[in-house]
C-alpha cells in the first residue's frame, strides 16, 4: 500500500478531532494550547530489539511507544494533549501491521485523552523504528529533576524491578505470567500522580533506565547526594516469590529499567500529604531513602553498610 493511502486509511481518522491537523493532508500542523496553559514537549523512540523484543507485535510497539512518552509527561506533572508519530518500517511489512498499530494508537489516545496531529512514514531496510513526540499541558511550573534539597525524603510509586525481571524471563523463553509480562510490554504512566504532586514534590523523574541511575539524574541536577535503603524497596509479590537469590531480586529493583514508575522527593513535613495521596490514588508511594549532602548515591543494606552494585542502570 502506498504511503499516502496508508496514512489516509489508518492514521487520518485518529486526527479528525483536531482541526489544526488538517486531516494529515499538509506538511505540518497548527496547534494552539488552551488559554493560560503552557506546552510540555517530549519525544521518545521504540526500536525493535532495543526497547521491545525482536518480532514484537504492532500492539506492543504502539503501547510501549505511547506509554514511554506519557511517562515523561507524568514526571513533569503535565496532562496529555496531542502527539505525532514517525515510523520507519521494512518494505515487506504487511498492511495488517499498520492496521493493528493504528488501532492500538486509537485505543491508547482514547484512554489517555490525546489526539494525533501528524508525523512521517518511511520504508526501507533494518528493524522497525518508531518515534513519538507528545505535547502535554500545564498551568503551573513543571516538576523537574532539579529541586531536591538535603533532608528530603525519596519516594517511588508502585513496585520496582518487575519489568526487568519480566524481560529476563522473556529473553530466556521461560513461561511467564501475563500480568508480569505486561509490566514490560505495557507499563502504566503515572499521569494522575504527576499532576497531583505539584504542591508536594521538590523534584521528580520517571524510572526508565533503572532506579539508581535515575535518582542520580536528580542528584546531579540538584547538586546533592542520596542514600537508598535496600530493605525499603517495594517488591511485587511476584518478584518476592521468584525462585532467584535475594541479591538478584534487589538488582532488578535497583538497576533494572522499564518500570516507568515515578520517583520523587519531598520534605518530611509532607509525609502525611504523601500518605493521603497514596490512599486517594490507591497507589503505593514508598519512602526508600533521603537526600544528603555531597554528590554520591549510596545503597545501604539492613545494617547500614554500602552495597556495591554491578551497574547503576541502562546506558544508552
The pLDDT tens digits of the residues spanning 88-117 come to 999 989 999 999 999 999 999 999 999 999
Domains and CATH numbers, the chain: 3-138 (3.30.1330.10), 153-300 (3.90.650.10)
Mean pLDDT calculated for residue range 114-125:
95
Q: What is the pLDDT of residue 315?
A: 52
Q: Where are the alpha helices (DSSP H) in the chain?
A: 3-6, 58-75, 95-112, 162-171, 178-185, 191-196, 211-222, 237-240, 246-255, 271-281
Percent of the chain with pLDDT over 70: 98
Query: pLDDT category, 174, cuts 50, 70, 90?
Result: very high
The pLDDT tens digits of the residues spanning 281-296 come to 999 999 999 999 999 9
45 CA to centre of own chain:
12
Mean pLDDT calculated for residue range 152-171:
97
Which pTM value belongs to this model? 0.95
Separation of alpha carbons 223 and 146, rounded Å = 8
Mean pLDDT calculated for residue range 151-167:
97
Q: What is the pLDDT of residue 1?
A: 74
Query: Which residues have C-beta within 8 Å of that of residue 32, sequence separation ≥ 6?
Result: 20
The pLDDT tens digits of the residues spanning 51-84 come to 999 999 999 999 999 999 999 999 999 999 999 9
Mean pLDDT calculated for residue range 170-183:
95
Q: What is the pLDDT of residue 316?
A: 46
Q: What is the pLDDT of residue 311?
A: 63
Mean pLDDT of the chain: 95
Beta carbons within 10 angstroms of residue 66's beta carbon = 28
The pLDDT tens digits of the residues spanning 240-283 come to 999 999 999 999 999 999 999 999 999 999 999 999 999 999 99
Mean pLDDT calculated for residue range 114-135:
96
The pLDDT tens digits of the residues spanning 297-315 come to 999 999 999 998 866 655 5
Q: In whole angstroms, how far apart are CA 6 and each of 24, 42, 47, 153?
A: 11, 26, 21, 50
* HEC per residue, 92-105: CCCHHHHHHHHHHH
Amino acid at each position: 500500500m502506498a504511503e499516502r493511502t496508508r496514512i489516509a486509511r489508518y492514521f487520518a481518522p485518529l486526527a479528525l478531532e483536531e482541526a489544526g491537523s488538517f486531516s494529515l493532508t499538509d506538511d505540518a500542523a497548527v496547534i494552539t494550547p488552551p488559554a493560560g496553559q503552557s506546552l510540555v514537549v517530549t519525544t521518545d523512540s521504540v526500536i525493535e530489539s532495543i526497547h521491545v523484543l525482536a518480532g514484537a507485535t504492532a500492539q506492543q510497539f504502539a503501547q510501549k511507544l505511547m506509554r514511554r512518552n506519557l511517562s515523561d509527561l507524568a514526571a513533569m506533572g503535565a496532562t496529555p494533549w496531542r502527539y505525532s508519530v514517525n515510523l520507519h518500517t521494512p518494505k515487506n511489512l504487511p498492511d495488517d501491521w499498520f492496521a493493528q498499530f493504528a488501532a492500538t494508537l486509537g485505543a491508547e489516545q482514547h484512554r489517555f485523552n490525546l489526539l494525533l496531529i501528524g508525523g512521517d512514514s518511511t520504508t526501507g531496510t533494518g528493524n522497525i523504528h518508531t518515534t513519538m513526540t507528545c505535547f502535554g499541558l500545564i498551568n503551573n511550573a513543571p516538576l523537574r529533576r532539579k529541586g531536591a534539597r538535603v533532608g528530603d525524603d525519596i519516594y517511588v510509586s508502585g513496585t520496582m524491578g518487575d519489568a526487568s525481571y519480566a524481560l529476563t524471563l522473556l529473553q530466556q523463553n521461560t513461561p511467564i505470567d501475563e500480568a508480569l509480562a505486561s509490566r514490560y510490554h505495557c507499563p502504566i504512566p503515572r499521569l494522575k500522580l504527576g499532576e497531583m504532586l505539584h504542591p508536594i514534590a521538590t523534584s521528580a523523574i520517571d524510572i526508565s533506565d533503572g532506579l539508581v541511575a535515575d535518582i542520580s539524574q536528580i542528584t546531579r541536577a540538584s547538586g546533592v547526594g542520596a542514600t537508598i535503603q535496600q530493605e525499603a524497596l517495594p517488591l511485587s509479590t511476584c518478584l518476592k516469590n521468584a525462585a532467584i537469590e535475594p541479591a538478584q531480586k534487589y538488582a532488578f529493583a535497583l538497576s533494572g529499567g522499564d518500570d516507568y514508575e515515578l520517583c520523587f522527593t519531598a520534605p518530611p513535613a509532607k509525609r502525611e500529604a504523601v500518605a493521603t495521596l497514596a490512599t486517594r490514588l490507591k497507589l503505593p508511594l514508598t519512602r526508600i531513602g533521603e537526600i544528603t549532602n555531597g554528590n554520591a548515591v549510596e545503597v545501604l543494606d539492613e545494617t547500614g553498610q554500602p552495597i556495591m552494585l554491578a551497574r547503576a542502570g541502562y546506558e544508552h
